[in-house]
């Protein structure tokens, strides 16, 4: 199992003939992703790397039954590309494009929610379910199939965390780069909820950064809703206030959105926080060990409770048997007494009858 994409993913690439689209289409196909179509207006009927190209997403979906889209188009056309994919019936859209205006994304966000569409991004590296499917720009060679889910606002830190896990022999179920813009389609909580419901995911790595309060909200969700262990990392600890660091959303405003504030929220929720991505594997191993011990204790308590219930039930049965025996004895004594009384009464009647005859 995995989240959002798997071996049933049928991908259409919007912007397949562009520089980035053509490069990453080849890499996705080489990884094993089922890339069934590409879209570049005006180039319908052609082929790229054996993949049919269509003029519109609607045409591509009608001919190939594509269910997932990845967008590699310039910022001025990215919003229209998202709308086009959603209108064509695509239910999972990954927008790699950077520089999409936040105002435009507000309209997109409301629209995709109404259409029940999963949008990941914009300004994200995409996602990968190792051994099944890769959609976006995450390098497939650094990943390993396993049971740890990874969700991150930062693309580069996703790669670092994944590489550290793989080097430690720890595989991943799905790695998701949600993007670092102020308005994105899928947030930490969406991913955490998906990982919580995924049987293949045994633990989660959550990588946040300065700016906003998504990490604080996610920490609260972990505390209230998650049963699987979560470990974290927060980047931007040395960033000066008021200065944007790389992502549109990575900016500290006043006292809000600082790394310290986010680390404190993680700690409060019981999420161990790494000081470096290289510490993440160690924290995962410790968290899984702790979860295993907790589960064993829970099972032991359950067994003890079951045994205690059986003992109580056995005691109750024994008590009932004793009570039944006593009742039988009492009833027997009562019956015997009645017989004696009856016998005595008969004798008295007999004597009286004899006396009356003599008279």
The predicted pLDDT at position 38 comes to: 98
Beta-bridge partners for 10? 34
Q: Which of 73-82, 163-172, 340-349 shows the lowest per-residue confidence on average (mean pLDDT)?
A: 340-349
Q: State yes or no: pLDDT of 254 exceeds 60.
A: no
Chain segment 39-60, per-residue pLDDT in tens? 999 999 999 999 999 999 999 9
CATH code linked to domain 1-123: 3.40.50.720
pLDDT higher than 90, residue 23: yes
Q: Do domains 1-123 and 138-305 have the same CATH topology?
A: yes
- Domain 138-305 fold: Rossmann fold (3.40.50)
Per-residue tokens: 269: 């929720």
CA distances from 52 to 11, 92, 120, 299, 302 (A): 12, 20, 24, 54, 57
pLDDT of amino acid 328:
74
Residue 82 clears pLDDT 50, i.e. is over it: yes
pLDDT mean over 131-153: 97
Which pLDDT does position 236 carry in this prediction?
Answer: 81
pLDDT higher at 240 or 278 = 278
24 in active site: no
Secondary structure of the chain in HEC code, one letter for each residue: CCCCCCCCCEEEEECCCCHHHHHHHHHHHHHCCEEEEEECCCCCCCEECCEEEECCHHHHHHHHCCCEEEECCCHHHHHHHHHHHHHCCCCEEEECCCCCCHHHHHHHHHHHHHCCCEEECCCCCEEEECCCEEEECCCHHHCCEEEEEEEECCHHHHHHHHHHHHHCCCCEEEEEECCCCCCCCCCHHHHHHHHHHCCCCCEEEEEEECCCCHHHHHHHHHHHHCCCCEEEEEECCCCCCCCCCCCCCCCCECCECCHHHHHHHHHHCCCCEECCHHHHHHHHHHHHHHHHHHHHHHHHHHHHHHHHHHHHHHHHHHHHHHHHHHHHHHHHHHHHHHHHHHHHHHHHHHHHHHHHHHC
End-to-end CA distance of the chain: 108
Residue 255 has pLDDT above 60, yes or no: no
Q: Label residue 357 by pLDDT band (50, 70, 90).
A: low
Which residue in the list 24, 144, 228, 247 is annotated as catalytic?
247
For the chain, domain boundaries: 1-123, 138-305
Q: Model pTM?
A: 0.81
């Amino acid at each position: 199992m995995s989240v959002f994409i798997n071996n049933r993913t049928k991908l259409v690439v919007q912007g397949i003939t562009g520089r980035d689209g053509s490069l990453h289409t080849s890499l996705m196909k080489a990884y094993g992703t089922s890339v069934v179509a590409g879209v570049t207006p005006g180039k319908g009927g052609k082929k790229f790397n054996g993949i049919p190209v269509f003029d519109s997403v609607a045409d591509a979906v009608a001919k190939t039954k594509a269910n997932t889209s990845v967008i590699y188009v310039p910022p001025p056309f990215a919003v229209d590309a998202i709308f086009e994919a959603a209108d064509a019936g695509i239910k999972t859209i990954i927008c790699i494009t950077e520089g999409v205006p936040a105002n435009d994304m507000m309209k997109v966000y409301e629209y995709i929610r109404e259409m029940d569409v999963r949008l990941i991004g914009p300004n994200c590296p995409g996602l990968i379910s190792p051994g099944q499917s890769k959609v976006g720009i995450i390098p497939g060679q650094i990943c390993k199939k396993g049971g740890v889910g990874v969700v991150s606002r930062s693309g580069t830190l996703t790669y670092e965390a994944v590489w550290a896990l793989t080097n430690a022999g720890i595989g991943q179920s799905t790695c998701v780069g949600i993007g670092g813009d102020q308005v994105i389609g899928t947030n930490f909580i969406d991913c955490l909820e998906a990982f919580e419901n995924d049987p293949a995911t045994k633990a989660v790595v959550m990588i946040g950064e300065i700016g906003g309060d998504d990490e604080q909200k996610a920490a609260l969700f972990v505390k209230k809703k998650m049963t699987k262990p979560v470990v974290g990392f927060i980047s931007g600890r040395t960033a000066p206030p008021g200065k944007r660091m790389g992502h549109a959303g990575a900016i500290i405003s006043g006292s809000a959105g600082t790394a310290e504030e986010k680390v404190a929220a993680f700690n409060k929720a019981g999420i161990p926080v790494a000081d470096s991505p290289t510490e993440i594997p160690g924290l995962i191993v410790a968290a899984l060990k702790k979860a295993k011990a907790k589960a064993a204790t829970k099972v032991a308590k359950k067994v003890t409770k079951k045994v205690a219930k059986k003992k109580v039930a056995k005691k109750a049965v024994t008590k009932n048997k004793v009570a039944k025996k006593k009742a039988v004895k009492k009833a027997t004594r009562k019956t015997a007494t009645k017989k004696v009384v009856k016998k005595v009464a008969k004798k008295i009647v007999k004597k009286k009858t004899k006396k009356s005859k003599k008279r």
